Amino acid sequence: MKKVSIIIPVYNEKATIQKIINKVLKSNTLKLKREVIVIDDGSTDGTRDLLKKIKNKEIKIIFFKNNKGKGSALRAGFKKASGDIILIQDADLEYHPSEYPKILRPIISKQVKVVYGSRELSGKNIHSSAIFHAGGKFVTFVTNFLFKSKLSDEATGYKAFESKLLKSLPLSCKRFEFCPEVTAHVLKRGEKIMEVPILYTARHRHEGKKIKTMDGIEAIFTLFRVKFIK
């Protein structure tokens, strides 16, 4: 393992994008060379202007003319990634790049090919709302039921993969169904997903949180689609 590609999808995150990029650039990637790929998903709030000012060899920026969704942005980032490991980083400040070592280490040591940072395992995290938390728990329950897994946090924003495995998955996601789709495909392949505890600073809808109730319904549908159709 020589390089990690950190993929950051962003849509209308003017208030946080520079802060998260600074944190990512200062993160400990366990001696792996770092490649940061930012995908602007058609932002209209000034995020694009901030990104255009960035001049750093470690950072590649992809601009979408129109908003296509998180899944589309991630898949575009995966195609550009040249690292041995691909790690997903949200553009808000809910997830902390200081946690990278515990996420990367199991893949570097070849224990597993997939690691999820679980918000549930630390026992210290507070979620943005009871409904949001319950929705995530239910999607995780359905995942475990369908694929006989033992995950605690399927919907976590911190996911890392051996690049070869991730790029071999037939992903078609466009929006927030990325999480259930990639999880379902990984488990269907028989790959183990290791979870490690992470800290999580939840933000609320008025602060820019975008996921909605319909995304939870779509997540359930996606799990069944991958399990029984393809």
**Segment 3-51, tens digit of pLDDT:** 999 999 999 999 999 999 999 999 999 999 999 999 999 999 999 999 9
What's the CA gap between 125 and 200, in Å, rounded?
6
The values of phi and psi at residue 198, to 5°, are -135, 160
What's the CA gap between 33 and 5, in Å, rounded?
9
What's the CA gap between 107 and 21, in Å, rounded?
23
Among 156, 179, 7, 176, smallest CA distance to 76 is for: 7
Task: For residue 99, give both structure tokens.
Answer: 């946690």
pTM, to two decimals:
0.93
Q: What distance, in Å, lies between the first and last C-alpha atoms of the chain? A: 31
**Segment 164-223, tens digit of pLDDT:** 999 999 999 999 999 999 999 999 999 999 999 998 887 555 444 456 778 789 999 999
Domains for the chain: give ranges and CATH numbers. 3-228 (3.90.550.10)
